[in-house]
C-alpha cells in the first residue's frame, strides 16, 4: 500500500534533523574544546550544557529518524522521544537561569510537532485508525521483547551481586551529580574552577580529620573530602570518555574488518596486533610522554592514550563475534532479499553480536579509571590540585610512615581515596560479571 | 613455525609504531633531547640539522633503526646516561622480583584454581572469588602503600628499597670483599657467603613480591577454575568415574591435565600484566629497577627512557608469547599431532 506522505511531516522531519545536527555539534564542541567565549560568558558551566545539548541532540536525532520513517509505530516512538526531548530542554533554563530561555525556541518547535503528530490524519498515515489501534499494534510488536525484558529483570533479581554492583554504581553517579551539594565549591583557592581542590595554606604536613575537613588535608593542604567527592565526577568522565571512545572506534573498525574481510581485514587486524604487542599501561606511558610536550592538556593526553590502547580489544572482540554469525542463514536471507549493508549490520548482525562487547564495556568503565589512577600515581595524571583519586594517593606517598611514636599518624591521606577508588572499580566489576551471566545467551536459560 | 613468521612483522610493526609516535614531536623539540646545557637552546636548529632531524622520515627511520640494532643506542636520559646502560644496570632488581613472583603466581593460580573448580560453591571457591575480586578491583599501588604502612611503619618487618643501610655501607665500602656476579642480591649474597645479606634481601623482597603475585594470580585462578569446571563436565570424566576411580584420581589425573592448557595460554598474557605490575610495584617500594626508572623518567617527561622501556617490554611480551605458543603445541597432543 502506497501512502502519501504529508508535506508538513517532511517539513518537520527536516527541522528536527537540522536541530539535532546543530545541538550535537555545539554539545561536542563544548565538551571537547571547553568554553568558546570565555570573555562573554566567564561563568559558563560548559560540562553541564554540553551534556544536556548532547542528550537533546541524540533525542532529536531519534525523533527525526522516526519522522522520516514510514514505520507503523513511527509516530508513537517519535512522540515519546519528542516529549523526552522537550523535558530535557526545559532543564537548561531551570538549571542555568532564565537567560537560557533562548533554548525555549527549540521547545516551541517540539511542542508544535507534538501537536501536529496528534492529528488523526497523521495517525492514519502511520497506519493506525486511532491511538488505541496503534497501541494495540505496539503491544503485539513489542510483546516478545517485553517478555525477554521481564525474564532479564527476573534474572537480575536472582543475582544479588548484580544488585550490589548496580547500587554501588548508582551511589557514585549520584555522588557525581550532587557533588556541589556534598562538597560546596567556591573556595578562593579554586579560582572559580570546581574541578580543582580547595587548599587552605601551603603547609606540606597533612592535617588530621576535623569538622572542617572530614577526611583531613593532604600535602599542600588540599581538602581530601572535597577531592574524594569530586573525584567521582572525574572518574565517571574518564570512564565514559575512554571506554566510550574505545568502544566507538573499536566497533567501527572491527565491523568493517569482519564484514568486508579480505585485505582490509588483514591490514586492520595486523595494526591491532602491533598495539596489542605492548603491555597497555606501558604504551600509555610512552604516548603520554610524547603527547604532553605537544601541548595537550595532561588529563586529555591520558585519556587519548587510554583510547589508543583500548580500542583494539573491542575490534578483536566484535570481529570474532561477527565472523561467528556472518554466515548464519538469517544474515544470508537478509542479504538475498536485498537489504543494504548498513541495514544488515544494524538490524541483523549487531543485535546478535553486541552483548559480549557491552559486558567488556561495563567492566572497562571501572578498569579504565584504575589505569588512569595508576598513571596518575606514576606522575602522569591530571595537573596538580585536580580532584582525582589517583593524584591524592600519589601525593600520600611521602606520608606512608608517621613518626615512630605514632606510625599510622597520616593514615587518612591514603586510606580514604583508596577506598573510594576500589569500591568504584568493584561496583563496575560486579555489574559486568553479573551482566555476563544474565545476557550471555548460552548461559541465560540454564 | 607460522607463529614465528608472524611474530617478526609484529615486532617490526611495534618498532615502526614507536618511531611514528616520537615523530609527532616537532624537530626542534626532538633536538632538545640531545642538548646537555640550557645555554645550547639557541642552537636547536643546528643540532636538529646535525642529527639529521630535518631529513625525510624514512631516512631518519633508517638512522634510528641502525642506531638501535647496531649500536644498541636508545638515546640519553636526562642525566646524559645512555639509556641502554642505565637499563642494564637496573635490570637485576626487576629480574629478582619477577623471578620470585612468577612461580608463586603459577603455584597459587593452579592450586587454588583446581581446588576451586573441583569444589564449586564451597568455601575454597568463595575464597578464590574474593581473591579474584581483589585482583581486579584493588589498585596495586594502593595495596602496596597499605602493606608498607602496616608492615614497615607499624611493625617494622619488611622495609622498602632493595637493601638496608648496613648492607649498602658494606657493599660500597672501599675495602669490601663483596663481589657482584649475577646482580641479584639474594643469589650473590649466598655466593659471597654472607648469609645476613641474604636475609636482608629477602626481607626487602617480601612486600613487592606479595603485591605482584597476589594481585596477578587472581586471573590465573579464575581461568583455571573455569576450565576445570568445563573439564569436569566432559564425557571422559563421567567414564572415569563410572570405572570406579577415586575422586582424587579423577580430579588430579584426568581433569587437571586438561584444565591446565588454558592456564598456560593465559601465562603468555600474564607477562604483560607482570611488566605493568612491576612498573608500579617498583615505584611504590622504590626498588630501583627498570620499571621505576621508566616511571621516574615519565614523570619528568624524559622521553628516551620511556620509549626504550616500551620497546623492550614489547619485545619481551612478543617473545614470551611465542614461547608459550611453542610450549602449548608441545603439551597439547591435539595441536602437536594435528
CB of B18 less than 8 A from some CB of A: yes
| Inter-chain residue contact A378 with B299, CB threshold 8 Å | yes
SS3 track for chain A? CCCCCCHHHHHHHHHHHHHHHHHHHHHHHHHHHCCCCCCCCCCCCHHHHHHHHHHHHHHHHHHHHHHHCCCCCHHHHHHHHHHHHHHHHHHHHHHHCHHHHHHHHHHHHHHHHHHHHCCHHHHHHCCCCCHHHHHHHHHHHHHHHHHHHHHHHHHHHHCHHHHHHHHHHHHHHHHHHCHHHHCCCCCHHHCCCCCECCECCCCCCCECCCCCCCCCECCCCEEHHHHHHHHHHHHHHHHHHHHHHHHHHHHHHHHHHHHHCHHHHHHHHHHHHHHHCCCHHHHHHHHHHHHCCCCCCHHHHHHHHHHHHHHHHHHHHHHHHHHHHCCCHHHHHHHHCCCCHHHHHHHHHHHHHCHHHHHHHHHHHHHHHHHHHHHHHHHHCCCCCECCHHHHHHHHHHHCCCCCCCCCCCCHHHHHHHHHHHHHHHHHHHHHHHHHHHHCHHHHCC
- Best B26, B74, B137 member to test A by mutation, with max A CBs in 10 Å, is B137
Most confident of A44-48, B12-16, B118-122: B12-16
Tell me the C-alpha distance between B245 and B232, whole Å. Answer: 14
Q: Which of A296, A297, A374 to mutate to test the interface with B (most CBs of B within 10 A)?
A: A374
Nearest to B265 by CA among B330, B337, B328: B328
Give the residue among B280, B136, B141 at the shortest CA–CA distance from A365. B136
B135 touches A429 (CB < 8 A): no
pLDDT bin (cut points 50, 70, 90) of residue A247 is: very high
Rounded Cα distance, B300 and B291, in Å:
15
CATH 1.10.3720.10 fits A175-444, yes or no: yes
Whether the per-residue pLDDT at B333 is higher than 70: the answer is no
Chain A CA closest to residue B14: A274
Q: What is the mean pLDDT of residues B1-10?
A: 75
- What confidence category does residue A23 fall into, taking pLDDT thresholds of 50, 70 and 90? confident
User: Which range among A373-382, A411-420, B160-169 shows the weakest confidence by mean pLDDT?
Assistant: B160-169
The reported pTM is 0.76
Which tens digits make up the pLDDT trace of A55-85? Answer: 888 888 888 888 887 766 677 778 888 888 8
d(CA B312, CA B322): 15
Q: Which residue of B has its CA nearest to A273?
A: B10
Query: ipTM of the predicted structure?
Result: 0.85
Task: Give the Cα separation of B159 and A93 in Å (integer).
Answer: 58
Cβ distance of A294 and B25 shorter than 8 Å: yes
Whether A38 has a pLDDT exceeding 70, the answer reads no
Looking at the complex, report in whole angstroms how far the Cα of residue A303 sits from the nearest Cα belonging to chain B: 16
Q: Which of B11, B141, B273 sits opposite A393 (nearest CB)?
A: B141
Query: How far is Cα A441 from Cα A130, in angstroms, rounded to an integer?
Result: 38
Contact of B78 with B302, CB cutoff 8 Å: yes
**Gap between the Cα atoms of A19 and A85, Å rounded:** 11
Domain ranges of chain A: 7-144, 175-444
Q: Residue A1: what pLDDT?
A: 44
Which chain B residues contact residue A418 at CB under 8 A? Answer: 139, 142, 145-146
Given this model, what pLDDT does residue B253 score? Answer: 78
In this complex, do B299 and A379 lie within 8 Å of one another by their Cβ atoms? yes
Length of chain B as a residue count = 338
Closest CB from B14, B152, B307 relative to A401: B152
Cβ neighbours, 10 Å, residue B237: 17
Instruction: Assess B261–A contact: CB distance below 8 Å, yes or no.
Output: no
Interface test with A, best of B298, B301, B316 (most A CBs within 10 A): B298
Q: Which tens digits make up the pLDDT trace of B249-280?
A: 888 877 887 777 777 778 878 888 888 888 88
Residue A3 pLDDT grade (very low, low, confident, very high; cuts 50, 70, 90)? low
Mean pLDDT within B192-219:
82
SS3 content of chain B, % helix, strand, coil (to 5): 80, 0, 20
The mean of the pLDDT values for chain A is: 79
Domains and CATH numbers, chain B: 2-69 (no CATH), 84-337 (1.10.3720.10)
Q: Do A408 and B153 touch (CB under 8 A)?
A: yes
Among B216, B229, B276, pick the best mutation site for testing chain A contact (most A Cβ within 10 A): B276
CA A318, distance to chain mean position in Å, is 19
> From CA A345, how far away is CA A342, in angstroms rounded?
5
**B145 in reach of chain A (CB within 8 A):** yes
Evaluate if residue A443 carries a pLDDT over 80.
Answer: no
The shortest C-alpha distance from B139 to chain A (Å) reads 6
pLDDT > 90: what percent of chain A?
Answer: 4
CB contacts < 8 A (A, B): 159
- Enumerate residues 19 to 78 of chain B having a beta carbon within 8 A of any beta carbon in chain A: 21-22, 24-25, 29
Where is average pLDDT lowest: A363-367, B111-115, B132-136, B169-173?
B169-173
Query: Helix B2-23 to helix B303-331 angle, to the nearest 10 degrees?
Result: 170
Amino acid at each position: 500500500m502506497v501512502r502519501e506522505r504529508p508535506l508538513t511531516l517532511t517539513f518537520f522531519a527536516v527541522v528536527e534533523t537540522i536541530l539535532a545536527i546543530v545541538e550535537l555539534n555545539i554539545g561536542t564542541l563544548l565538551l571537547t574544546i571547553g568554553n568558546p567565549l570565555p570573555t562573554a560568558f566567564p561563568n559558563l558551566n560548559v560540562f553541564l550544557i554540553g551534556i544536556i545539548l548532547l542528550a537533546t541532540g541524540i533525542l532529536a536525532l531519534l525523533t527525526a529518524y522516526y519522522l522520516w520513517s514510514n514505520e507503523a509505530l513511527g509516530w508513537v516512538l517519535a512522540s515519546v522521544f519528542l516529549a523526552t526531548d522537550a523535558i530535557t530542554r526545559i532543564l537548561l533554563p531551570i538549571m542555568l537561569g532564565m537567560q537560557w530561555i533562548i533554548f525555549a525556541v527549540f521547545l516551541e518547535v517540539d511542542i508544535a510537532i507534538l501537536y501536529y503528530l496528534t492529528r488523526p490524519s497523521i495517525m492514519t498515515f502511520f497506519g493506525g485508525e486511532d491511538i488505541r489501534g496503534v497501541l494495540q499494534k505496539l503491544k503485539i510488536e513489542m510483546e516478545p521483547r517485553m517478555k525477554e525484558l521481564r525474564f532479564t529483570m527476573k534474572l537480575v533479581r536472582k543475582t544479588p551481586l548484580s544488585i550490589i554492583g548496580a547500587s554501588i554504581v548508582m551511589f557514585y553517579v549520584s555522588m557525581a551529580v550532587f557533588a556541589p551539594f556534598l562538597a560546596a565549591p567556591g573556595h578562593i583557592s579554586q579560582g572559580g574552577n570546581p574541578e580543582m581542590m580547595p587548599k587552605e595554606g601551603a603547609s606540606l604536613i597533612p592535617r588530621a580529620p576535623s569538622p572542617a575537613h572530614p577526611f583531613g588535608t593532604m600535602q599542600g593542604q588540599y581538602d581530601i573530602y572535597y577531592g574524594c567527592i569530586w573525584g567521582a565526577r572525574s572518574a565517571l568522565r574518564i570512564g565514559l570518555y575512554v571506554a566510550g571512545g574505545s568502544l566507538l572506534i573499536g566497533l567501527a573498525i572491527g565491523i568493517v574488518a569482519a564484514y568486508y574481510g579480505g585485505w582490509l581485514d588483514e591490514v586492520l587486524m595486523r595494526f591491532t596486533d602491533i598495539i596489542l604487542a605492548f603491555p597497555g599501561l606501558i604504551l600509555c606511558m610512552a604516548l603520554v610522554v610524547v603527547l604532553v610536550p605537544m601541548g595537550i592538556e595532561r588529563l586529555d593526553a591520558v585519556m587519548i592514550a587510554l583510547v589508543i590502547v583500548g580500542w583494539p580489544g573491542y575490534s578483536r572482540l566484535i570481529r570474532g563475534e561477527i565472523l561467528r554469525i556472518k554466515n548464519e542463514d538469517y544474515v544470508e536471507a537478509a542479504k538475498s532479499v536485498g537489504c543494504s549493508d548498513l541495514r544488515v549490520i544494524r538490524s541483523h548482525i549487531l543485535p546478535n553480536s553486541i552483548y559480549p562487547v557491552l559486558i567488556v564495556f561495563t567492566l572497562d568503565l571501572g578498569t579504565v579509571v584504575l589505569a588512569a589512577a595508576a598513571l596518575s600515581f606514576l606522575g602522569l595524571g591530571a595537573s596538580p590540585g585536580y580532584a582525582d583519586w589517583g593524584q591524592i594517593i600519589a601525593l600520600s606517598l611521602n606520608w606512608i610512615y608517621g613518626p615512630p611514636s605514632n606510625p599510622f599518624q597520616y593514615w587518612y591521606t591514603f586510606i580514604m581515596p583508596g577506598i573510594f577508588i576500589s569500591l568504584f572499580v568493584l561496583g563496575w566489576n560486579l555489574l559486568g560479571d553479573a551482566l555476563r551471566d544474565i545476557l550471555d545467551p548460552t548461559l541465560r536459560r540454564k | 613455525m607460522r607463529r614465528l613468521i608472524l611474530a617478526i612483522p609484529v615486532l617490526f610493526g611495534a618498532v615502526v609504531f614507536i618511531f611514528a609516535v616520537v615523530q609527532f614531536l616537532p624537530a626542534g623539540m626532538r633536538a632538545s633531547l640531545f642538548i646537555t646545557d640550557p645555554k645550547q637552546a639557541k642552537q636547536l636548529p643546528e643540532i636538529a640539522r646535525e642529527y639529521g632531524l630535518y631529513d625525510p622520515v624514512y631516512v631518519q627511520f633508517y638512522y634510528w633503526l641502525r642506531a638501535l640494532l647496531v649500536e644498541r643506542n636508545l638515546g640519553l636520559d636526562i642525566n646524559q646516561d645512555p639509556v641502554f646502560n642505565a637499563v642494564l644496570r637496573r635490570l637485576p632488581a626487576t629480574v629478582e622480583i619477577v623471578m620470585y613472583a612468577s612461580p608463586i603466581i603459577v603455584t597459587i593460580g593452579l592450586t587454588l584454581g583446581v581446588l576451586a573448580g573441583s569444589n564449586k560453591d564451597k568455601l575454597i571457591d568463595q575464597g578464590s572469588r574474593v581473591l579474584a575480586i581483589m585482583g581486579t578491583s584493588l589498585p596495586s599501588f594502593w595495596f602496596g602503600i597499605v602493606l608498607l604502612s602496616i608492615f614497615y611503619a607499624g611493625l617494622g618487618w619488611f622495609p622498602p628499597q632493595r637493601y638496608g643501610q648496613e648492607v649498602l655501607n658494606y657493599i660500597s665500602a672501599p675495602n669490601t670483599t663483596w663481589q657482584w656476579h649475577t646482580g641479584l642480591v639474594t643469589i650473590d649474597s649466598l655466593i659471597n657467603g654472607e648469609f645476613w645479606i641474604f636475609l636482608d634481601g629477602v626481607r626487602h623482597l617480601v612486600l613487592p613480591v606479595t603485591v605482584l603475585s597476589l594481585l596477578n594470580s587472581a586471573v590465573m585462578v579464575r581461568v583455571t577454575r573455569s576450565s576445570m569446571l568445563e573439564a569436569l563436565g566432559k564425557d571422559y570424566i563421567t567414564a572415569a568415574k563410572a570405572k570406579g576411580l577415586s575422586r582424587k584420581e579423577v580430579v588430579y589425573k584426568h581433569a587437571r591435565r586438561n584444565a591446565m592448557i588454558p592456564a598456560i595460554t593465559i601465562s603468555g598474557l600474564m607477562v604483560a600484566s607482570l611488566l605493568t605490575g612491576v612498573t608500579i610495584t617498583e615505584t611504590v617500594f622504590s626498588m630501583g629497577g627498570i620499571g621505576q626508572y621508566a616511571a621516574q623518567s615519565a614523570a619528568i617527561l624524559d622521553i628516551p627512557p620511556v620509549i626504550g622501556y616500551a620497546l623492550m617490554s614489547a619485545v619481551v611480551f612478543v617473545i614470551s608469547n611465542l614461547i608459550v605458543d611453542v610450549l602449548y603445541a608441545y603439551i597439547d597432543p591435539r595441536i602437536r599431532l594435528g
